[in-house]
Amino acid sequence: MKNRLKVLRAENGYTQEDLADIIGVSRQTINAIEKEKFDPSLPTAFRISKLFKQPIEAIFQFEDN
């Protein structure tokens, strides 16, 4: 799954640690999502969406392999 998390995080001045603390996951989870090695759980995706005030599909783009 492609995502814009790293760009949004940087635009808003958050470190990976900051973002992890705000949405309740580890910094390693944020890193893995940004590198597209891990897809977020639905609750995590909703928290990210709410924080950045954007629809989930504006942040995460599903790619059918």
pLDDT digits (tens, 9 = 90+) for 43-64: 999 999 999 999 999 999 988 7
Instruction: For residue 54, give Cα distances in angstroms to 34, 49, 57, 59, 64.
Output: 17, 5, 8, 7, 22
Tokens of 25: 């996951």
pTM above the 0.85 mark? yes
pLDDT digits (tens, 9 = 90+) for 3-51: 999 999 999 999 999 999 999 999 999 999 999 999 999 999 999 999 9
Residues contacting residue 17 through CB under 8 Å, at least 6 positions apart: 27
